[in-house]
Structure 1
Amino acid sequence: MPSPIKLITVDLDDTLWPAQAVLLRADRIFYAELEKHAPKLTSKLGQHEIRAQRLEYLKAHPELEHYISDWRKQSLLALLAEHGYATEAEQIAEQVFHTFWQARQRVTLFPYVSQVLTELSQKYLIISITNGNAHLDKMPLSQYVRHSLRAEQFGLSKPSPRLFEEALKLANCNSEDVLHIGDHPLDDIEGARQLGIRTIQAQLLENNRDIHPDADAIMTDWRDAPELIARL
């Protein structure tokens, strides 16, 4: 008989909220702020060109793969220096990134997330695990989540077991005591399964990711979560 669940680990982007709209809005705000402080740069490069430059920067600096905030800031510093802002680059980059970061934290939850997490937090310990740079401690949802783990804190991203192992350590749990909820078949489901953690794959978007064939359950509505968890 399976062990009772003591800890729920939960992904953030596309599990608690749809990520694309958040990121697109934050990127528009990022570029608008950059226009204010570095018009010589934005007069030559549009929003999509800056994004392309950022991706090229990562190819040249693969060590930043798991540090997405540093990656964004450092690629911006390089662009500013190239476009006549060398002496002001640090100040401008900090201001522009801070504006982006604030926008990145403004999310719209999937329906019923708050209600369900309120219920679950009364029975289970909850820890969030994300590869992104959303900071749950800046959101009202933090009241339901004991710890928030981000890839950039550890220099490793899911599906690496490192973040899951840290959650087990913080909760003083074994893997058989844990359930992970996430949308990504590799990062979330396969990552958790490597440690023997039970999984629920979230399928909450119109264009969902592929279903992992070995997910223990599929969730299409957060209202179903308590019953799915009880069955596992």
Structure 2
Amino acid sequence: MKSYKAILFDLDDTLLNRDQAVDQMFSIIYEECYENVPPLVENKMLQRFKEHDLKGYGNGDKEQVLKPFFDEFPRKFPLQNNNDIQVFWDYHFPRCFSINQNTIDTINNIKKQVKVGIITNGSTQRQKAKINNTNLNQWFETIIISEGVGFSKPDKRIFELALNKLNVQPEDTLFVGDHIEKDISGCQNAGINGVWLNPHKVENNTEIKPYAEVDSFDRLLSYIQ
């Protein structure tokens, strides 16, 4: 197996479990705005909240994400922060993320042998908050956020920027991500081998062929050992 000098990672749904964070965000909104909702209705609200979030994934204007949800399920109480949806989201959502011990252990083992970095799309404020709140900033040698550099995955320039910062060549680098188009196709455009993290074993119905596919984070160790 080829010996690599660096591994780059996506953030959401790769290093951090965004699905769990969305569940936690729903709980915060539910406690803030509703009470005495029948369990069946609450379950429906959660599913609809996830649907609205998925439609707005990558959309920085969270009022467009939550307003349709509030229209469907009128609030009994207003949000904090003068009922400003964006302020409420920006404050609470980054704090909904956590990182599991298995991921920390795997990163520590990888870091002993190769350089590591993060490339993530999104708002600088929100992505930095996620990274700082989970202490990920202490493990990575470079962290690139799309808003701060002016281009985003799958644009090959954001991958090339990370290569320059780590002083490594594309052929000596792996990129790990969960999104087949933004992550895998994007890194391939820059000449980097892409490892598709696919824990739910989603069928790949695209023409994009990852270099490798893993269903658990710790399986990445086999690519450096």
Structure 1 and Structure 2 fold alike (TM over 0.5): yes
The letter of the residue matching 1:208 is V
- Report deviation, 1:74: 8.1
**Alpha carbons of structure 1 residues 131 and 27: separation in structure 2 relative to 1, 3 Å:** farther
1:136-151 map, 5 Å: 136-151=131-146
The number of residues matched between the two structures is 201
Asked if the contact 1:137–1:148 (Cα under 8 Å) also holds between the matched residues in 2, the reply is no
Q: TM-score, normalised by structure 1?
A: 0.67
Query: Which moved further from structure 2: 5-14 or 140-149?
Result: 140-149
Give the aligned partner of residue 112 of structure 1.
102
Counterpart of 2:70 in structure 1 is none
Deviation at 1:136, TM superposition (A): 1.5
- Unpaired runs of at least 5, structure 2: 35-44, 68-79
Partner of 1:208: 202
Structure-2 separation of matches of 1:5 and 1:98: 37
Please say if 1:21 is aligned against 2:7: no
**Structure 1 residues 183 and 75: CA distance shift in structure 2, 3 A:** closer
SS of alignment partner, residue 24 of structure 2: helix
Give the Cα separation in 2 of the matches to 1:213 and 1:130. 20
Question: Cα gap change, 1:98/1:19 in structure 2, threshold over 3 Å: closer, same or farther?
Answer: closer
Work out the CA distance in 2 between the residues paired with 1:155 and 1:28: 34
Instruction: Give the Cα separation in 1 of the matches to 2:185 and 2:81.
Output: 39
Q: How does 1:76-115 map to 2 (within 5 A)?
A: 92-93=83-84, 95-104=87-96, 106-109=97-100, 112-115=102-105
Kindly report which structure 2 residues correspond to 1:217-232, keeping only aligned pairs within 5 A, or say none. 217-230=212-225
Give the corresponding residue for 1:81.
none
Misfit runs of 4+, over 6 Å: 74-77
Letter of the 1:120 partner, please give it: I
Cα RMSD between the aligned structures? 3.9
CA shift, 1:177, in A, is 2.2
- Are 2:157 and 1:162 equivalent residues in the alignment? yes
Give the TM-score normalised by the residue count of structure 2. 0.69
Q: Which moved more, 1:9-18 or 1:187-196?
A: 9-18
> Cα–Cα, structure 1 residues 159 and 95, in superposed 2: closer, same or farther, change >3 Å?
closer
